[in-house]
Amino acid sequence: MATLCRPAIAVPDHVITREETLDLARQLHAGHPQLGLALRLIGNTGVQTRRLVRPIEETLEHPGFTARNAVYEEEAKARVPEVVRRALDHAQLAPPDIDMIVYVSCTGFMMPSMTAWIINNLGFRPETRQLPIAQLGCAAGGAAINRAHDFCTAYPGANVLIVACEFCSLCYQPTDLAVGNLLSNGLFGDALAAAVVRGEGGTGVQLERNGSHLVPGTEDWISYAVRDTGFHFLLDKRVPKTMAMLAPAMRDMAAPHDWDVSGLDFYVVHAGGPRILDDLSHYLGLPAEMFRYSRATLTERGNIASAVIFDALERLFAEGGAHHGARGVIAGFGPGITAEITLGTWSDAGRDTPGAAGAPEARAPGAELAAQTPALQGGVRG
Nearest 10 degrees: Cα torsion 206, 212, 215, 216: -170
**Residue 378 neighbours by CB under 8 Å, 6+ apart:** none
Task: Give dist(CA 157, CA 108) in Å, integer.
Answer: 32
Task: Write phi, then psi, for 225 (nearest 5 degrees).
Answer: -100, 120
Contact 95, 126 (CB under 8 A): no
**CA torsion, ordered 197, 100, 161, 191, to nearest 10 deg:** -130
Catalytic site residue from 5, 106, 138, 171: 138
Helices (H), the chain: 18-28, 35-43, 56-59, 65-91, 114-121, 140-154, 179-185, 243-254, 274-284, 292-301, 308-318, 367-372
Whether 171 is catalytic is: no
If one counts every other C-beta atom within 10 angstroms of the C-beta of residue 163, the result is 27
Angle between helix 65-91 and helix 114-121 axes, rounded to 10 deg: 50
Between CA 355 and CA 325 the distance in angstroms is: 21
Q: Which residues contact 101 (CB under 8 A, 6 or more apart)?
A: 115, 118, 119, 124, 128, 129, 130, 131, 160, 161, 162, 163
Pairing between strand 100-104 and 159-167?
parallel
**Cα gap 52→13, rounded to integer Å:** 7
Amino acid at 87: A
Longest dimension (CA), the chain: 62
Give the residue numbers marked as catalytic. Answer: 138
